[in-house]
């Protein structure tokens, strides 16, 4: 590869060499990311939906946002990778091409060292980027993807892209690294990044508690970081998060919830009802949302919802108020504000969804929009911990309502 890039540079100039390197890096990311995306988000979308960590799919605009920034990241990575070769030509750096110079033991050892060193570098660099004064400048672009996909793995702000890649030229300046080791390391990093951002969990039950496997990160681990950014900073391994106490306190339990969900029998029914059965789509969504505030208190059963007996906005509000007061430990000064939001959106669902003369698809889009509006207002009233619990419980009860409605 280095001779190809070198020949392009000699014949067509450094710009062409940069473009060729960037295209190679982009394709090395885009081809496997697209194959994984097609597998889990298209071909197996229905069959593997129970393995989806967050039981929803990102919007098309979010995916396009990720791909756009991934192209920019590839250009930056390409320039920095080319810089490593240029430094070598100028007599700087320790990149070498003959295995015999240091032998096979060193060859394999340097690959292992690169992976461990990068994991350490990433953890501390990642935590630094979450500092309030740095977060919006460096890391916000990546966290725009709250429900990540394989394309999220390269979706960085340009400044973060520089930090992500910076360890590679730094190491090659002081440590002899074979060109193939350099390539394999970047391929390993790309593959693990894509896996961590799939949004699906395929690891077996007990993985996060196993004496050895618990030190390896899972897609659930990083997915939780995208939803709750104050935890789970590690990349490949769970060493630093465990040592520094930055693992999410519910990581093990949430991982088991995701894995156990995938084990539930479907009796031949589709596991993705909202996409596959449009005639029932709105009723299932309404069931899920209404059960968020009723199932825990038994004041409204699934049979009532199936029969269209949704109760009044006021009764639903009372149920949601009680559930949130107990489940979120609401403070006295939050009670009235939460009540007002619950009542406002219970009435909005009643007027714009339940009673509205709209098509099934329009109702589905309308209730999704209403829920997003409500979430934004709740986020202003609840503190970060309360809001995280609210979202987690809402999604859990939503899926319970949808599952019971269909199955």
Q: Is 216 helix (H, G, I), strand (E, B) or coil?
A: strand
| % of the chain residues with pLDDT over 90 | 48
Alpha helices in 228-359 (DSSP H): 239-244, 251-263, 273-276, 281-291, 302-306, 313-328, 332-349
Residues in a beta bridge with 96:
178
pLDDT 10s digits, 337-359 = 999 998 998 888 888 877 777 66
Residue 123 is predicted with a pLDDT of: 97
pLDDT 10s digits, 103-113 = 999 999 999 99
Mean pLDDT in residue range 63-88? 89
Residue 362 is predicted with a pLDDT of: 66
Q: Is 67 helix (H, G, I), strand (E, B) or coil?
A: helix
Name the strand (E) or helix (H) holding 204: none
Q: Please, which residues have CB within 8 angstroms of residue 348's CB and are 6 or more apart in sequence? A: 370, 373
Q: Considering only CA atoms, which of 262, 263, 287, 259 is closest in space to residue 406?
A: 287
Residue 293 is predicted with a pLDDT of: 40
Q: Please, which residues have CB within 8 angstroms of residue 193's CB and are 6 or more apart in sequence? A: 153, 154, 235
Name the strand (E) or helix (H) holding 356: none
Tokens encoding 365: 């889009």
How do the domains of the chain map onto residue ranges? 2-256, 273-406
Q: Is 52 helix (H, G, I), strand (E, B) or coil?
A: strand
């Amino acid at each position: 590869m280095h001779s190809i890039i070198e020949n392009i540079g000699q014949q067509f100039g450094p710009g062409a060499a940069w473009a060729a390197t960037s295209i190679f890096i982009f394709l090395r990311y885009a081809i496997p990311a697209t194959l994984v995306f097609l597998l889990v988000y298209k071909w197996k979308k229905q069959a593997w939906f129970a393995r989806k960590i967050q039981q929803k799919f990102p919007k098309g605009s979010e995916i396009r946002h990720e791909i756009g920034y991934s192209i920019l990241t590839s250009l930056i990575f390409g320039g920095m990778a080319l810089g490593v070769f240029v430094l070598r030509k100028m007599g700087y750096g320790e990149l070498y091409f003959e295995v015999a110079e240091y032998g096979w033991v060193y060859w394999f050892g340097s690959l292992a060292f690169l992976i461990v060193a990068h994991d350490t570098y990433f953890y501390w660099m990642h935590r630094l980027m979450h500092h309030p004064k740095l977060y919006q400048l460096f890391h916000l672009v990546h966290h725009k993807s709250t429900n990540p996909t394989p394309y999220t793995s390269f979706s960085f702000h340009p400044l973060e892209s520089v930090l992500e890649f910076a360890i590679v030229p730094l190491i090659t300046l002081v440590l002899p690294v074979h060109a193939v080791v350099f390539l394999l390391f970047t391929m390993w990093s790309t593959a693990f990044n894509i896996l961590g951002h799939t949004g699906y969990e395929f690891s077996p039950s007990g993985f996060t508690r196993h004496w050895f496997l618990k030190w390896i990160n899972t897609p659930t681990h990083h997915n939780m970081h995208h939803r709750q950014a104050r935890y789970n900073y590690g990349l490949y391994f769970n060493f630093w998060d465990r040592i520094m106490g930055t693992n999410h306190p519910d990581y093990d339990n949430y991982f088991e919830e995701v894995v156990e969900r995938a084990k539930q029998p479907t009796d031949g029914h589709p596991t993705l009802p909202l996409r596959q059965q449009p005639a029932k789509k709105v009723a299932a969504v309404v069931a899920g949302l209404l059960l968020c505030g009723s199932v825990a208190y038994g004041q409204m059963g699934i049979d009532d919802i199936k029969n269209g007996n949704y109760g009044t906005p006021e009764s639903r509000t009372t149920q949601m108020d009680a559930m949130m007061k107990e489940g979120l430990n609401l403070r006295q000064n939050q009670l009235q504000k939460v009540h007002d939001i619950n009542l406002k959106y219970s009435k909005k669902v009643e007027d714009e969804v339940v009673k509205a003369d709209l098509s099934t698809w329009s109702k589905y889009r309308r209730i999704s929009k209403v829920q997003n509006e409500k979430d934004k207002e709740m986020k202003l009233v609840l503190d970060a911990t309360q809001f995280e619990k609210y979202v987690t419980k809402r999604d859990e009860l939503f899926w319970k309502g949808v599952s019971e409605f269909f199955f």
